[in-house]
Amino acid sequence: MGAEQPTTKPKKPDLRSISREALQGLDQEEFGMIYELACEEEQRRHTLRVFTANATQLQADLMVATGLPKPGVTWVAPTRVEETYAVGQIVTFEGKLYQSKVPFNFARPGSHAALWELYEGALQDAPEVEVGEYVPPEWAGGHPYAVGDTVLYEGSIYKAKVAHTSITGYPPDKDRTMWEHKN
């Protein structure tokens, strides 16, 4: 048996070496593959941005809707998503107060410094989790959208009917084949 090879992180391509001429020299299939990969990556990044921006609000809404968990409660291992702990939520664990640093926190307090921090303040000084109305991101031209994505455009909310990359100058209020008006 041979020794295992260490895994290495893939080398980042030097994008400065990709010239306009090189792109123009690609056949339609090659260009399509690169375009599709770029669109998929943009969609992944968009999804991550939207999720990150809305995760705390979603969890706060879940807390209000279910009544679980309340700030300052004794920590209990969550078994369902609505039982996880929100950013800023304070719990008691092994006689100490801990504050969650991430949304949907399921980890045991004190087990990971990136997820919980020891809370030194008095419990009555704990920050309140405010619940507000969800506001979707603004619509943008040239942006990939997945089925079900919601956007805000000129004060109205629209929901994507199909996955597509939006076209600048052709917003949701003008494109009923791609968007459904929600309010």
33: number of CA atoms within 13 Å, CB side?
4
Q: Is the pLDDT of residue 155 over 70?
A: yes
Architecture of domain 21-130: Ribbon (2.10)
Q: Give the Cα separation of 149 and 52 in Å (integer).
A: 15
pTM (2 d.p.): 0.35
- What are 147's two structure tokens? 């089925």
Nearest to 92 by CA among 62, 64, 68, 123: 123
Q: What is the percentage of the chain residues whose pLDDT exceeds 70?
A: 73
Q: Is the pLDDT of residue 71 over 60?
A: no
- Residue whose entry in the numeric block shows the structure tokens 């000129």: 154
CATH 2.10.10.20 spans which residues of the chain?
A: 21-130, 135-183
pLDDT of the residue at 9? 65
Which residue type, as a one-letter code, is found at position 95?
G
Q: Give the Cα separation of 90 and 159 in Å (integer).
A: 35
- What are 108's two structure tokens? 């045991």
Higher pLDDT, 65 or 111: 111
Could you say which of 3.40.50.170, 2.30.110.10, 2.10.10.20, 1.10.1240.10 is the CATH number of the domain covering 135-183?
2.10.10.20
Confidence of residue 126 (pLDDT cuts 50, 70, 90): very low
Chain mean pLDDT for the chain: 79
Q: What is the percentage of the chain residues whose pLDDT exceeds 90?
A: 15
User: Positive or negative, the Cα torsion across 174, 176, 180, 183?
Assistant: positive
